[in-house]
Structure 1
Amino acid sequence: MSVIIAISVFIISYIFIMSEKINRALVALAGGMLLLLTNIYDFELAITKYIDWRTVALLFAMMVLVSITKKTGVFSYVAVLLAKIVKGKPIPLMFGIAILTAIGSALLDNVTTVLLFVPVILTLTKLLEIRAFPYLIIIIISANIGGTATLIGDPPNIMIGQAVSHLNFVSFLKHMAPVAMVIFILSIGTLLIIFKRQLKPIHPANLEKLMKMNEQDYLVRSPLLVQSLSVLTMTIIGFVLHPVLHIDLTIIALTGAILLLLISEKEVQAEKVFENVEWVTLFFFIGLFMLVGGLEEVGVIDELARSIMMLTDGDMVYTALLLLWTSGLFSGIIDNIPFVAAMIPVIQEFESYGMSNLDPLWWSLALGACLGGNATLIGASANVVVAGLAEAQGERIAFLKYMLYGVPIVVLSLIITTLYVYYRYLLPYHVSP
């Protein structure tokens, strides 16, 4: 009976999360509470075993750091300066936005990056009287590909990094960044060629308005500017030096957040900063961990692991490639966060079946989930955020229209990733008949 209850609660919660009819954090938390009420596990077990507080705390710390830095106007300054440098030319502007979004997503995280850049881009497109749709598509694709490159770039990577202690910030850079760069160049190059035919030159009057804009007006010159950029930079350096420092990533991020709150207290009230934290996202993670914990508690995760092992006969090559394509395709249909949350304990279970080196499986899961999120508007959190911001400004992105661009990019990404994973990790496991 407990198995039926846990699976039913998980599936029903998943359906409501996908439908977006009700706030997804409420759905996930409601599902978690149902598991507690039906005695699938008790409250103490949920708190101590199934909720990954390190992931929640790391996300919270990064939200605090970016929330304070945003108040300096530095992100708006960079966007306006870029538009002026390329003189408003659509293709160079689009390419510049793609690079900024990808870099921002790698160093901050893709959800935070799109929250910062989308409002600025919508303002620019209205000022220049050009179509916003191509730029929004570029931002979504770039955010997910850029976020793939680092441990903190995309929530699935954060979750995997926290679950596997030896996969640190540098590990993700070494293993994820190379293929992410190749996919970024090919994907953005393809999109630029497609959009080039759709974009018209900017009207001279609108160009004149742009060139008269003073990007300095967006920059708040105060001690907060130096403080926030310094602490943010030190935090990222701390991530990179994690293998040397041997300090947990969450501790590094929290230290940076608390330090910035302390030194900026005269200019920014902590209460105001906490108001800007994306609490919905954090509580969604908490509820999600509880839902997956229910499956783990009743043995569904173990059974899923056994099924995959039987399907692939424990062959590393087949298991990794199956995981890559499954995670890539599923992440396009559903949000990649709950999918990765469900798959982490599955992969961990493989160790009990004799697989000593699970790293190829972790990289396959991370690459598939992050890149697969580009397929649809609900494939990744960043996509949902961009669509919401755009619709609020009267620039609705049609679900099916987005898929015309997103699905081909995902297929291209998975083909490239398959070659990368096979030749970098799986070739030694391949035994010729």
Structure 2
Amino acid sequence: MSLAAVLAIAIFVAVILAASFELTDLTVVALVGAMLLVLTGQLTMPEAVASIAKAHGTLALLFGMMVLVQALEATGAFNGLAHRVVLASRGDGRRLLLGIMLLTSPICAVLPNATTVMLLAPLLPPLAKELKLDPRPLLLLLVLTANSAGLLTLVGDPATYIVATGLGFSFGQYFSQLSLGGLISLLVIVPTLPWLYRSIWTARFPVPDLTPPRPHHRQAMRMLLGVTVVMLVLFTVGEMLPVPLSPDATALAGATAALAICHQSRLITVDRLFAAIDWSTLVYFMGVFVLIGGLQTSGAMVLLAQGLTTLIGTNILQGSLLLLLLTGVLSAFIPNIPLVAALTPVLISYCQTAGLTIAPDAIAPQAYPLFFALMFGGTLGGNATLIGASANLVGAGIARQHDTPIHFRDWLPYGVPTVILQLSAALLYCWWRS
């Protein structure tokens, strides 16, 4: 193994460990790692920029959806939805828990899960206080549902988008091959409600005289919802148009339309909307992709692919089940985005080495279960612990702001049983699809 490969792997592992143990801010540690690669001569600045450019699809999709979300948030639409869930519960804890799942799932199918948690989680502690309930189980259910619902569509989670685009899947291909698995992952949560969330499930409470806040700038809201519907259609059929539109191009087009609507309707100024964008997450992704570029340029990626070839062997089914369990365990302690971003090119290299390609850039269908396993393991395993996914940290941060902190040990009784059930279901799904 060359010195360059050793150094690139060491920097990457150090970044992962620092992020896992929350030694510093995630964005800071990713940037430190990226700059170490440049300062030690492992990457030139043009190579670092080229590594970010290769991931332009993920970054453009995230940015576009963040703009649309902030525009809709400015209308008060999400606040009104949360109040309607409480009213629809009619004082029944069971209805409230199911209502949170039904509210969160469709939103997370089209919006990044951490962004959805940022929007909905701040609404739950005040509502729980009004209903005299512990807000922590509600916040935990929101986050676990958000992470799981990201598997419903190609654009529901950055991790799923990274793997699916590496596989070369369109929105329609993802829907036909993987959305059922995402739905099963969500349905697995339902039987846990009377068990893990018993204090809420058995609760009966008087519903206060709540009047859901009315969205303002209703005309702008209707136009933004129209943009959202058009985007969903284009996500599905955009790549079949005479001028193909990829999901990231669709997201940017939708963001552009949303900005124009906000400006013309005076809903929110463009400056204020941009100030609300989660730039930290976008910069974090840039740093991660530079780290991946360092692994590729140094030759470390080839070595990892060779190791994976030895681990998986020639039995794709056995290898996919092993990969599912391995990534499921790893993503409980390693943030799933860098884990998936690192392993996707490794899997592609493995397929090329093992002859599992039908063209230079096309993966053979018989290798799909390996990528499915990576997607399910990387996404669902993050539910196990507080540090497993960015949405988890967002939810815990919001709980802390409302004086109801969720500690690492508090998460485990909810996350670990949920992940065991979800990975078991995913294992059966990968076996069925193989």
TM category, shorter: over 0.9
Q: Which residue of 1 aligns with 2:354?
A: 353
Q: Secondary structure at the match of 2:155?
A: coil
**Counterpart AA for 1:232:** T
CA contact (8 A) 1:128 1:202 kept: no
Checking the alignment, whether the CA contact within 8 Å between 2:52 and 2:286 is kept in structure 1 is no
> In the TM superposition, what is the alpha-carbon distance from 1:313 to its structure 2 partner?
2.2
Residue 227 of structure 2: aligned partner: 231
Letter of the 1:19 counterpart: F
Question: Quick check: 1:145–1:370 contact (8 Å CA) kept in 2?
Answer: yes
In 2 relative to 1, CA 320–263 (structure 1 residues): closer, same or farther, beyond 3 Å? Answer: same
1:73–1:220 CA contact under 8 A, matched in 2: yes
| Correspondence for 2:428 among 393, 398, 419 | 419
Mapping of residues 331-346 of structure 1, within 5 Å: 331-346=331-346
Whether the aligned pair in 2 keeps the contact of 1:133 and 1:397 (CA below 8 Å) is yes
Matched, 1:385 2:387: no
Question: Counterpart of 2:304?
Answer: 304
Larger CA deviation: 167-176 vs 125-134:
167-176
Within 5 A, what are the aligned runs for 1:192-203?
192-197=194-199, 201-203=203-205
| Paired position in structure 2 for 1:431 | none
Q: Give the corresponding residue for 2:361.
A: none
Cα distance, 1:121–1:297 mapped onto 2, change above 3 Å: same
- Provide the residue aligned with 1:324 in structure 2: 324
Distance 1:126 1:197, change over 3 A: closer
Cα deviation for residue 193 of structure 1 reads 3.4
- Post-superposition shift, 1:77? 0.9
Partner of 1:4: 6
Aligned to 2:295: 295
Q: Give the C-alpha shift of residue 179 in structure 1.
A: 2.0
Residue 238 of structure 2 aligns with an amino acid whose one-letter code is: H
Superimposed CA distance per residue, residues 280-322 of structure 1 (whole angstroms, 9 cap, x where no aligned partner): 1000000001112111211111111111212332321222112
Structure 2 gap ranges (5+)? 358-363
Q: Determine whether 1:159 maps to 2:162.
A: yes
1:198/1:115 Cα in 2 relative to 1: closer, same or farther (>3 Å)?
closer
RMSD of equivalent CA atoms = 1.6
For the 8 Å contact 1:50–1:290, the answer to whether it is kept is: yes
2:107 aligns to what?
A: 104
Q: Counterpart of 2:360? A: none
After TM superposition, give the deviation of residue 36 of structure 1 in Å.
Answer: 0.7
TM-score computed with the length of structure 1 as normaliser: 0.92
Shift in Å, 1:90? 1.5
Instruction: Tell me, yes or no, if the aligned pair for 2:151 and 2:157 is still in contact at 8 Å.
Output: yes
* Residues 244-263 of structure 1 mapped to structure 2, 5 A cutoff: 244-245=240-241, 246-263=244-261
1:430 aligned residue: none
Amino acid at match of 1:374: N
CA distance in 2, matches of 1:278, 1:293: 24
Of 99-108 and 46-55, more deviation after overlay is shown by 46-55
Q: Match of 2:295, as an amino acid?
A: L
CA distance in 2, matches of 1:194, 1:226: 38
Greater CA drift, 354-363 or 70-79: 354-363
- The residue correspondences of 1:109-188 to structure 2 (distance < 5 A) are 109-165=112-168, 167-188=169-190
| Contact 1:98/1:138, CA 8 A, preserved across alignment | yes
SS in structure 2 of the partner of residue 333 of structure 1: coil
CA contact (8 A) 2:16 2:335 kept: no
Moved more, 271-280 or 174-183: 174-183
Structure 1 runs (4+) deviating above 6 angstroms are: none
- Give a deviation string over 1:319-363, Cα, whole Å, max 9, x none: 211221111111111110010011011011022321232322221
Taking the aligned partners of 2:61 and 2:151, their CA distance within structure 1 comes to 17
Equivalent of residue 189 in structure 1, options 175, 188, 191: 191
Supply the distance in 1 between the matched residues of 2:25 and 2:196 (Cα, whole angstroms): 35
Partner of 1:87: 90
Number of aligned residue pairs:
418
> Aligned letter for 1:319?
G
CA distance in 1, matches of 2:277, 2:200: 38
- Partner Cα distance (2:425, 2:379) in 1: 14
CA contact (8 A) 1:58 1:250 kept: yes
Identity %, equivalent residues: 32
Partner of 1:42: 44
What amino acid is the match of 2:88?
Answer: I
Q: 1:76 to 1:47 in 2, by over 3 A?
A: same
Change (3 A) 1:360 1:203: closer
CA contact (8 A) 1:308 1:319 kept: no
Amino acid at match of 2:333: I
Q: 1:203 to 1:405 in 2, by over 3 A?
A: closer
